[in-house]
């Protein structure tokens, strides 16, 4: 099987300029008691531009992670006009999700493999990078996140922050056009999380060809620090209740007045619109 590599001709940005197109997506889960269904999304529409750092902000349980699973083809919607990734519908063309890589809330490393072994596991699975490049790629990305000396360690031998770094490498090393990140720093202490946010922004902004990142969080200041576009979701069934373009250079800090202003505004809107529905 041949798979198009990111950057190759097959992967021209779709004419729409949107790497991700969700149109009229409806997803309902059966209720645990078997009576009826639970609507998570009702006719939900969202386009995500190529090269953007889009943050999905919303209260816990509103279906943010579910949205990432829909994009990655891990979940099939109850109905939808389109669930397109790079112009191809993931329902009919699941192979297109080889150009997406996922970083989860917890590292989800295989504890019987070294950090390097875990990264190789992802490389082998997605199969988009030719094997000759693996060494060079791993060297590069382990280096950027400061894990060069720890590639032979097993997950239990390193800290939680280092495990999450390895998980980021596992995703990034594939140089996917789209990166899905599901609250990747929420399990870490604030200092490590801040460090990793900085590294993430460095990684992302350093690429000549900007990757499209979809980043899920419930943390407003994290959203403002990272996002070029912030999308606020309501509780189930999730709807977009607010959008904010953040046109500030990285790295951003809380001390910056403009980002502080944006954060303040978001907090107000969040309390007003993203609260629990009556």
Q: Name which of 124 and 267 has its Cβ closer to other proteins.
A: 124
Q: Which of 7, 30, 125, 146 binds other proteins (CB under 8 A)?
A: 125
Separation of alpha carbons 240 and 102, rounded Å:
23
Q: Is 104 in the site for other proteins (CB under 8 A)?
A: yes
Distances (CA, A) of 225 to 170, 220, 246, 259: 23, 9, 9, 8
Q: Is 240 in the site for other proteins (CB under 8 A)?
A: no
Binding mask 40-79 for other proteins (x = CB under 8 A): --------------------------------x-x-----
Q: Are 193 and 215 in contact (CB under 8 A)?
A: no
Q: Of the two residues 95 and 261, which places its CB atom closer to other proteins in the complex? A: 95
CB of 152 to other proteins, least distance (A): 11
Q: How many CB atoms lie within 10 A of CB 108?
A: 14
Structure tokens at 222: 């994290």
Check residue 122 for interaction with other proteins (CB under 8 A).
yes
Kindly state whether residue 19 participates in binding other proteins, applying the rule CB under 8 A: no
Q: Is 257 exposed, middle or buried (0-12, 13-18, 19+ CB in 10 A)?
A: exposed
- Any contact of residue 159 with other proteins (CB under 8 A)? no
Phi-psi region of 36 (alpha: psi -120 to 50; beta: other; left: phi over 0): left
DSSP 229: E
Does 102 contact other proteins by CB under 8 A?
yes
Binding site for other proteins (CB under 8 A): 72, 74, 95, 97-98, 101-102, 104, 106, 108, 110-113, 121-122, 124-127, 154, 156, 170
């Amino acid at each position: 099987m041949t798979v198009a590599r990111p950057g190759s001709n097959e992967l021209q940005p779709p004419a729409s300029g949107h790497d991700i197109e969700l149109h009229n997506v409806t997803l309902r889960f059966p209720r645990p008691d078997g009576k009826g269904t639970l609507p998570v999304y009702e006719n939900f529409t969202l386009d995500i531009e190529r090269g953007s750092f889009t943050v999905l902000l919303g209260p816990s349980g509103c279906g943010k992670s579910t949205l990432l699973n829909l994009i990655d083809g891990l979940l099939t919607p109850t109905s939808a006009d389109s669930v397109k990734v790079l112009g191809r519908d993931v329902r009919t063309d699941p192979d297109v999700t080889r150009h997406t890589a996922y970083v989860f809330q917890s590292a989800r490393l295989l504890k019987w493999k070294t950090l390097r072994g875990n990264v190789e596991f992802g490389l082998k699975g997605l199969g988009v990078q030719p094997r000759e490049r693996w060494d060079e790629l791993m060297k590069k990305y382990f280096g950027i996140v400061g894990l060069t000396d720890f590639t032979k360690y097993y997950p239990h031998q390193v800290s939680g922050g280092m495990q999450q770094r390895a998980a980021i490498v596992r995703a990034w090393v594939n140089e996917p056009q789209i990166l899905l990140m599901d609250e990747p720093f929420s399990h870490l202490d604030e200092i490590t999380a801040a460090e990793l946010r900085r590294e993430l922004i460095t990684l992302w902004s350093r690429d000549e060809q900007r990757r499209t990142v979809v980043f899920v969080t419930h943390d407003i200041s994290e959203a403002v620090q990272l996002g070029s576009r912030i999308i606020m979701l309501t509780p189930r069934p999730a709807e977009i209740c607010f959008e904010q373009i953040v046109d500030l250079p990285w790295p951003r800090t809380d001390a910056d007045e403009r980002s502080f202003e944006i954060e303040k505004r978001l907090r107000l809107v969040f309390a007003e619109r993203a609260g629990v529905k009556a």
